[in-house]
Structure 1
Amino acid sequence: MVYAVVRAGGRQEKVEVGTVVTMDRIAADENGNVTLTPVLLVDGDKITSDAKSLAKVTVTAEVLNDLRGPKIIIQKYKNKTGYKKRQGHRQELTRVKITGIK
C-alpha cells in the first residue's frame, strides 16, 4: 500500500491514488494538473521522510472543480456604545483527484 502525506494549503492531507481532496484554492496548469509537495511517503514497510529523498518524489493531481466553502459570519459588538459590525467570509476551495505517486 502506497500513500503520501502532502502539503495542501496550510494543512497536511493523507492521500492515495484515486483519493479526492478538497483544499485551499490552487492554480492548475493548462491541462488541469497540479503537482503537490510530499512531506512523508509510505511504501509498504518503507517510510521516507528525508527531504533529500522526498525531492525525487512527485505527487500529481487533476483539478476536478473550483468551489467556495460555507458562509462564516463574523460579528463584533460593544455594549452601550452602539457599535455593531457584521462581516461574512467564504473560503475559495479546489477539489482535486490524486492521479499518481512516483
Structure 2
Amino acid sequence: MVYAIVRAGGRQEKVAVGDLVTLDRLPGDAGSTIELPALLLVDGDKVTSAAQELANVTVTAEVLGDLRGPKISIQKFKNKTGYKKRQGFRADLTRVKITSIA
C-alpha cells in the first residue's frame, strides 16, 4: 500500500492513488492537473520523511471541479442591549482525484 501525506490549503491530507479529496479552493479549471507537495511517503514498510528524498516525490492530482461547502450559521447575541447579529458562510472548495504518486 502506497500513500502520502500532502500539504493542501493549510491542512495535511492522507492520499493514495485513486482517492477523491475535497480541498480548499485551488487555482485551475476542471480537467487540469496540479502537483501537491509531499510531507511523508509510505511505501509498504519503507517510510520516507527526509526533505531531500521528498524533493523527488511528486503527487499529481486532476481537478474534477469547484464546489461550495455546507452553510454555517453564525449568530451573536448580547442580553439586555438589543445587540443581535446574523451571518452565514460557505467555504469555496475544490474536488480533486489523485492520479499518481511517483
Q: TM-score range by the shorter chain?
A: over 0.9
Report the counterpart of residue 39 of structure 2 in structure 1.
39
The residue type paired with residue 69 of structure 2 is G
Identical-residue share of aligned pairs (%) = 71
Q: Give CA deviations for 1:50-82 in whole Å, capped at 9, x if unaligned.
A: 111111110000000100000001111111111
Match of 2:70, SS state, is: coil
The residue type paired with residue 8 of structure 2 is A
Higher mean displacement: 56-65 or 22-31: 22-31
How much has 1:28 moved relative to structure 2?
2.4
Question: What does 1:57-96 align with in structure 2 at a 5 Å threshold?
Answer: 57-96=57-96
Question: C-alpha distance in 1, partners of 2:28/2:5?
Answer: 20
Match of 1:28, SS state, is: coil
**Runs of at least 4 residues of structure 1 off by over 3 A?**
none
How much has 1:9 moved relative to structure 2?
1.2
The residue type paired with residue 73 of structure 1 is S
Structure 1 unpaired stretches of 5+: none
Q: Would the alpha carbon gap of residues 29 and 54 (structure 1) be closer, same or farther in structure 2, given more than 3 Å must change?
A: farther
Count of aligned positions: 102
Task: Tell me if the contact between 2:68 and 2:90 (Cα under 8 Å) persists in the aligned partners.
Answer: yes
Question: C-alpha distance in 1, partners of 2:22/2:77?
Answer: 33
Question: C-alpha distance in 2, partners of 1:83/1:49?
Answer: 51
Report the counterpart of residue 28 of structure 1 in structure 2.
28
The residue type paired with residue 24 of structure 1 is D
- TM-score, normalised via structure 2 length: 0.94
Report the counterpart of residue 11 of structure 1 in structure 2.
11
Q: Would the alpha carbon gap of residues 30 and 90 (structure 1) be closer, same or farther in structure 2, given more than 3 Å must change?
A: closer
